[in-house]
Structure 1
Amino acid sequence: MVTGSSTAVAATGSSVEVGAEPIADGRLLAQRTLFTGPHRRVAEGMYVAAFPGTARATRERIRLLSGTTVSTNTYFGRFAASFWQRYTEVDTVRLEFDHECTPDAELRVAVNASDSSGRPRPVDVYDLSGTGHAAIDIPLPRFVDGGGVWFDLNVFAGEASVSDVRWTVAAPERFRPSSVVICTHNRPEDCLSTITALASDPVAMSCVDVVYVVDQGSDRVADKDRFELVQGLLGDKLRYLTQPNLGGAGGFNRGIYELTAGGRCETNIVVMDDDILCEPETVLRMSAFANKTVQPLLVGAQMLLLSETYRVHMTAEWEALDQLRAGRPTAYAYQGRNMLTHQQDARSVAGWNGWWSCLLPAEAVTAESLSIPLFFQWDDIEFGIRARLHGFPTVTLPNAGVWHADFHLKDYDDWSRYFSWRNALIVAAIHTPFDGAHFAKVVATEIGSHIVSMQYGLAATFLLAVRDFLAGPAVLHDGGQSKLAQLKELRSHYADTVVRSAAEVGKEGDPNTQISKKGHEPREDRETQVLLKRVAKQYLGKVSSAPVAIAADDARWWHVSLFDNAVVTDSSQTGVRIRRRDKATAVRLGRELAELCWRLRKDAPRMSQEWSDALPQLTSRENWKRLFDGD
């Protein structure tokens, strides 16, 4: 054992067996240092940064030639020291690894740390030779406001390799494994890829008790050839269930329901989307962290972008219920940050974490019951808020992430907006004072901007969401299944909801069509005034009749509303939508909006009471069992 001084680390001749249990010799495996990602499309710099020289890496081993410098000051390479100091009683982490050097080689291991501003500071330096197993104890002081720990490797001569790198902490008195719940709907190949990635990693699986796969689709996972492989990998750890399509809420809650039978839960629960690019190491890190925190808390993984595998969606977020928005970055958190050029040094606090991958502690699940049957969107947010209000906060753990389809490549004009908007109103009614005048203004601004943008189908989708919210808790009786058909029928009446081929639209259109770029965004204190002016101009027809094409990034309401006819690129970049001014439709939708806003102002206190009173019944096991049984 080496602690505190810059001396050579003695070789012990032992190594950590791949696939070992998460606890060995009184030490808990907190994380591994992996040198490559789970898929070749992942940017290499997310795991290790190589400088002059040559390094050849596999997942668990890196080989360095003379003159090579390698740093693990990377997204997955760092140890999140600030979070371990703040939320656990761990005061020392042990860095362990095997090394092998040629007789003429000299391998230098430099352990470094950072503070909340990102300034690096050296911890210690070790010179190694020969072959052996090294263990270095690293104290964890001075990290309350932020900072991480990592190591750099230098080879000055010959060749050297480092493998089986593990960060361990003192084992908890009682280790609690995790159970994984994955829900899927007609994405069997994506689901099988996610399960296979997890099941193929024996170290990550050593902390997993069971894996629930809840299949809600007609294209079954079990009917695919690869399912047999998954069965072989997981053995008796696999639980495969089928049920009616109850959305993400229904899929996740079915697994939670099964794991909490009898009012007890023996494991933490990791909920995970089916269509992610899975990093199994993330499950291990969340599980280890949850086993050492001084209080039970939700441990969330960050969402990394699938199209730009080096970029993070949001490092930590808090709900914005006053604006009916799912989230905004909290203090010292970032959205869309490039993790190859930046690190997460300042510690940020989360209000909730998306269920693309999130650990729910057993105590929170048994205390808070299940989530609301919202079908899709906001069920994870509401559960996070409710858990937080009852003493189970959320930590979004840096250096733990999975890759998920980019939200910015999903167009806002979609049937799912119904669930997002209706469910946001429900959650706001339950968890805010729910001032009717304020929320009527928010609703009027949002839907009004869609009407002047000639997004009549989207406006109709939002109006249905508000109408159903005002109908009260009975709207959730079937768990949301009937709404899919209703939304499809509703939106079919609006041509602006259809995504068309850009080439075909260009062939049909005016050859003089020009691209129109948006101007400056209205000042925040003048947005309402500008919106009202746009409404008047659209109503009077005092808008440009020139045919224009508008890029997705320029398609803001204050710009699109200046025209009578616009071809707007869909955010998915797969096609375009044609928006045409229709005065009669705009007037009809505007009148309905005015009526619903009046009702919202008048009935807000009653709706808040109704939804709050219904919460215990909606989240009860009895209600969910009724839905699972197809009643």
Structure 2
Amino acid sequence: MSTETSTETVTRLLQRQILPIDRDTDVFPLYVDLEDVKLDTDRFDVGGDKAAKDLNNAAIRQSTSTGRKLHPDQIRSRTALRLEPSQLLSFGTYFNAFPASYWRRHTIVTEVELTVHVTGAGSSVTVYKSMARGHSQRVESATVEGDAGTFTFSLPLKPFVDGGWYWYDVVAGDHGCTVEGAEWTAQVPADRAEHGTVDVCITTMLPDMSAQLLGQLGSTEELQPYLDTVFVMDQGKDKVTDSEYFAPAKAGLGDKLRVLVQGNLGGSGGYARGQLESVRKGTATYAMMMDDDVVCEPEGVIRAVTFGDLAKRPTIVGGHMFNLYSRSQLHSFGEIVQPWRFWWQTRLDGYSQWDLGARNLRSSRWLHKRADVDFNGWFMCVIPRVVLEEVGLSLPVFIKWDDSEFGLRAKAAGYPTVSFPGAAVWHVPWTDKNDGVDWQSYFHQRNRFIAALLHSPYERGGRMVRESLNHQVKHLASLQYSTAELRHLALEDILRGPHALHGELGTKLAEINAFRKQFSDAQLVADRDDLPPVRRKKPPKKGKSDIEIPGRLSTMVAAGLAPLRQLRPVREMSREFPEAELPAMDSAWYNLVKYDSAVVSMNDGSSVALYQRDPELYRDLLKRTIAIHRRFHREWPQLAQQYRDALGEITSPETWEKTFAPWTEGEDA
């Protein structure tokens, strides 16, 4: 019997040149780039001086764009672009540069071929590469000598161990040119020739946006072979099937679409249902979590699946998130969970809210170092079915931390996550939400603690308990009593243990909303005139304005005095009239602590609330806050063991099946 292994290989398409589907000029910088390269200063040249680093960070944020524009008519098709005579244009962009370091680190691919198709005599194509520190190098070039040319470049991935990209620039000839298309391909083993398929899992309470997303998925011809099933977990009062956009979306997806109606079990309950259906069905290679309120770049789904197919080991492949309202702005280029604080954040040497329309990829040094992450948000995240089968489904936590906890759980089991450049959606940014102080504050607090109990490497959770205490005092001093109460309730519920999570998945939100109604800071008012006007007996001290941001020393003094001030009697006039009116951007704690009452607007700009100081409630909450944090510090090791012992059971398909039983019993097999 022969023991020889097959060395047969086939050509596999990794990535193709694409252009915006809708010709939206706001997103052009993500596909093509007319700007020059103006690389920022290397951080090693800046050094460790704090003032120098602060100055450099400010300089990095400055726009280098000259405002050059591509005319929409220059886009001839999804893959073809027309250049004017002598025009220079770079495809070294988010969607068209090749993220070589990610392929080098995580896949079996060792060399790629770039093939570029150009028409237009005298036009030239030049290939570049960058290194992890951002500097670029010319690799090879070619010129069209007749009317058209097809150029192929062999490009090794060996130099990209720490970071770097490949891309190509085009200069049109005297009569212009058209870049008809470009493909990045690789020779792969024959057993990797076929692409995988994906079950898309969408959890929704927004029927119109969900139906429009389904329409995007169904109308993209190239995507159809990659789709196994599109699951929509409809958890809202208004059904996606009633949307005016649903019928054409259903026509596009056909039998691949399944709408599953169930109660509102939050994002984790919706995604877990999709994961369960995908695992039980067992026909798709991957399950992809996708938010309902996103605009998708369909090509990103294909790229994520392709990357997963060629990964060295089963790998979670996540997409990035761009700002739906500022469409060239990248929310984050890779997120980690900081182990000591146990909080999600952009990687330490990265930046958030990065506008690629202001400073392009080739000019942004930090974007060339490979970003290694702990997890990827479930606004777009492809999970291999084998990973779900081994590590379990989503944690039953309604919303918040389900995605990050799953990433940490998978990582501990040997399955990495890659936030993959070139796969992305547009989504409402977190900065436009108020979820740190509204009803969601309960889930932020409870689920962060649960995730830390499960995965923190520190015996007592590192800084978790102390930071939670500090935040509680801050909310109390800021007159945000509903927030403080919800966060306290979250800690009490954690102490009930992990086995209570499934039972309250469908009831906790209603309990929270009913509980919040008793607090004035939680009672949102759409019309400002429904609240009393601002009046106060004494004017502001020395006429100081709340728009001024205090210095470090002033902030420390304010933090020390704020808890003591809350014990003073309330100014009588403040019970009838608010003492100030603070826009959301100016409602930081160091401003709120000055007042006995204030009208505060919400981050989304839709409403205001009346904050009123209550010394008696403050004393009661502070006493309970100190007591429960002492208990957490004392009992952390035992509580952590309790949650870790139960993790396998509460995330198992069998336990989730029981939770879904009210909506699945009686369904056809």
Deviation at 1:218, TM superposition (A): 2.6
Question: Runs (4+) of structure 1 moved beyond 4 Å?
Answer: 51-55, 511-515, 521-524, 541-546
After superposition, the CA RMSD in angstroms is: 2.7
Range with greater deviation from structure 2 (596-605 or 499-508): 499-508
Superposition pairs for residues 185-264 of structure 1, below 5 Å?
A: 185-261=204-280
Deviation at 1:437, TM superposition (A): 9.0
Q: 1:256 to 1:585 in 2, by over 3 A?
A: same
Range with greater deviation from structure 2 (105-114 or 162-171): 162-171
Deviation at 1:132, TM superposition (A): 5.6
Superposed CA offset, 1:482-533 (max 9, x none): 1111111111111112333474268722398985124335479x96x85442
Superposed CA offset, 1:188-219 (max 9, x none): 11111112112222223332322222222231
Q: 1:542 to 1:533 in 2, by over 3 A?
A: farther
How many Å separate the matches in 2 of 1:253 and 1:402?
21
Q: Which residue of 2 aligns with 1:142?
A: 159
Range with greater deviation from structure 2 (436-445 or 568-577): 436-445
How many Å separate the matches in 2 of 1:521 and 1:425?
32
Q: Which residue of 2 aligns with 1:107?
A: 123
Partner-residue secondary structure (3-state), 2:495: helix
The 8 Å contact of residues 455 and 579 in structure 1, kept in 2 or not, is answered as yes
So what's the TM-score if we normalise by structure 1? 0.89
The one-letter amino acid of 2:321's match is M
Q: 1:558 to 1:516 in 2, by over 3 A?
A: closer
1:270 to 265, 277, 288: 288
Q: Which residue of 2 aligns with 1:329?
A: 346
The one-letter amino acid of 1:106's match is G
Partner-residue secondary structure (3-state), 1:116: coil
How many Å separate the matches in 2 of 1:53 and 1:566?
46
How many Å separate the matches in 2 of 1:251 and 1:136?
45
2:486 is aligned with 1:454: no
Range with greater deviation from structure 2 (89-98 or 152-161): 89-98
Gaps in structure 2 of 5+ consecutive residues: 1-8, 36-67, 362-366, 664-669
Deviation at 1:92, TM superposition (A): 2.0
Deviation at 1:321, TM superposition (A): 5.0
How many Å separate the matches in 2 of 1:499 and 1:92?
58
How many Å separate the matches in 2 of 1:53 and 1:465?
51
2:308 is aligned with 1:290: yes
Report the identity percentage.
29
How many Å separate the matches in 2 of 1:190 and 1:278?
11
How many Å separate the matches in 1 of 2:69 and 2:425?
30
The one-letter amino acid of 1:490's match is F
The 8 Å contact of residues 333 and 419 in structure 2, kept in 1 or not, is answered as yes
Deviation at 1:479, TM superposition (A): 5.1
Q: Which residue of 1 aligns with 2:297?
A: 279
* Count of residue pairs brought into register by the alignment: 600
Deviation at 1:168, TM superposition (A): 1.8
Superposition pairs for residues 295-334 of structure 1, below 5 Å?
A: 295-320=313-338, 322-325=340-343, 327-334=344-351
How many Å separate the matches in 2 of 1:620 and 1:178?
23
The one-letter amino acid of 1:509's match is V
Q: Which residue of 2 aligns with 1:7?
A: none
How many Å separate the matches in 1 of 2:276 and 2:579?
55
Q: Which residue of 2 aligns with 1:486?
A: 511
Deviation at 1:126, TM superposition (A): 1.1
Q: 1:132 to 1:231 in 2, by over 3 A?
A: farther
2:542 is aligned with 1:517: no
Q: 1:522 to 1:435 in 2, by over 3 A?
A: farther
Q: Which residue of 2 aligns with 1:71?
A: 90
2:13 to 29, 32, 51: 29
Q: Which residue of 1 aligns with 2:80?
A: 61
Q: Which residue of 1 aligns with 2:465?
A: 440
2:373 to 350, 353, 362: 350
Q: Which residue of 2 aligns with 1:9?
A: none
Range with greater deviation from structure 2 (73-82 or 589-598): 589-598
The 8 Å contact of residues 534 and 580 in structure 2, kept in 1 or not, is answered as no
Superposed CA offset, 1:60-111 (max 9, x none): 211122121111122212110111112123222222343333xxx3221111
Partner-residue secondary structure (3-state), 1:500: coil
2:154 is aligned with 1:124: no
Partner-residue secondary structure (3-state), 1:217: coil
The 8 Å contact of residues 212 and 249 in structure 2, kept in 1 or not, is answered as no
Partner-residue secondary structure (3-state), 2:399: coil
How many Å separate the matches in 1 of 2:593 and 2:648?
44
Q: 1:73 to 1:505 in 2, by over 3 A?
A: farther
Q: 1:40 to 1:436 in 2, by over 3 A?
A: closer
How many Å separate the matches in 1 of 2:70 and 2:342?
51
How many Å separate the matches in 2 of 1:228 and 1:29?
33
The 8 Å contact of residues 125 and 143 in structure 2, kept in 1 or not, is answered as yes
The 8 Å contact of residues 111 and 154 in structure 2, kept in 1 or not, is answered as yes
How many Å separate the matches in 2 of 1:53 and 1:440?
51
So what's the TM-score if we normalise by structure 2? 0.84
How many Å separate the matches in 2 of 1:437 and 1:291?
38
How many Å separate the matches in 1 of 2:347 and 2:70?
40
The one-letter amino acid of 2:583's match is A
Deviation at 1:227, TM superposition (A): 2.2
The 8 Å contact of residues 53 and 67 in structure 1, kept in 2 or not, is answered as no
Range with greater deviation from structure 2 (429-438 or 179-188): 429-438
Superposed CA offset, 1:559-608 (max 9, x none): 32122223333221233332221112212221221232232233323321
How many Å separate the matches in 1 of 2:558 and 2:339?
24
The 8 Å contact of residues 304 and 312 in structure 1, kept in 2 or not, is answered as yes
Range with greater deviation from structure 2 (44-53 or 66-75): 44-53
Partner-residue secondary structure (3-state), 1:28: strand
The 8 Å contact of residues 499 and 650 in structure 2, kept in 1 or not, is answered as no
Q: Which residue of 1 aligns with 2:51?
A: none
2:644 is aligned with 1:612: yes
How many Å separate the matches in 2 of 1:85 and 1:108?
28
How many Å separate the matches in 1 of 2:638 and 2:157?
52
The one-letter amino acid of 2:430's match is F
The 8 Å contact of residues 496 and 579 in structure 1, kept in 2 or not, is answered as yes
Superposition pairs for residues 394-543 of structure 1, below 5 Å?
A: 394-411=417-434, 412-432=436-456, 433-435=458-460, 438-478=463-503, 480-501=505-526, 503-504=528-529, 508-510=533-535, 515-520=545-550, 522=552, 531-541=559-569
Gaps in structure 1 of 5+ consecutive residues: 1-24
Q: Which residue of 2 aligns with 1:594?
A: 626
Partner-residue secondary structure (3-state), 1:150: strand
The 8 Å contact of residues 185 and 245 in structure 1, kept in 2 or not, is answered as no
Deviation at 1:53, TM superposition (A): 9.4
How many Å separate the matches in 2 of 1:132 and 1:468?
67
How many Å separate the matches in 2 of 1:614 and 1:521?
47
The 8 Å contact of residues 176 and 268 in structure 1, kept in 2 or not, is answered as no
How many Å separate the matches in 2 of 1:424 and 1:374?
10
The one-letter amino acid of 2:313's match is Q
Deviation at 1:390, TM superposition (A): 0.9
Superposition pairs for residues 559-578 of structure 1, below 5 Å?
A: 559-578=591-610
Partner-residue secondary structure (3-state), 1:151: strand
How many Å separate the matches in 2 of 1:519 and 1:466?
32
How many Å separate the matches in 2 of 1:439 and 1:49?
44
Superposed CA offset, 1:452-475 (max 9, x none): 000111111111111111111233
How many Å separate the matches in 1 of 2:283 and 2:400?
25
2:410 is aligned with 1:390: no
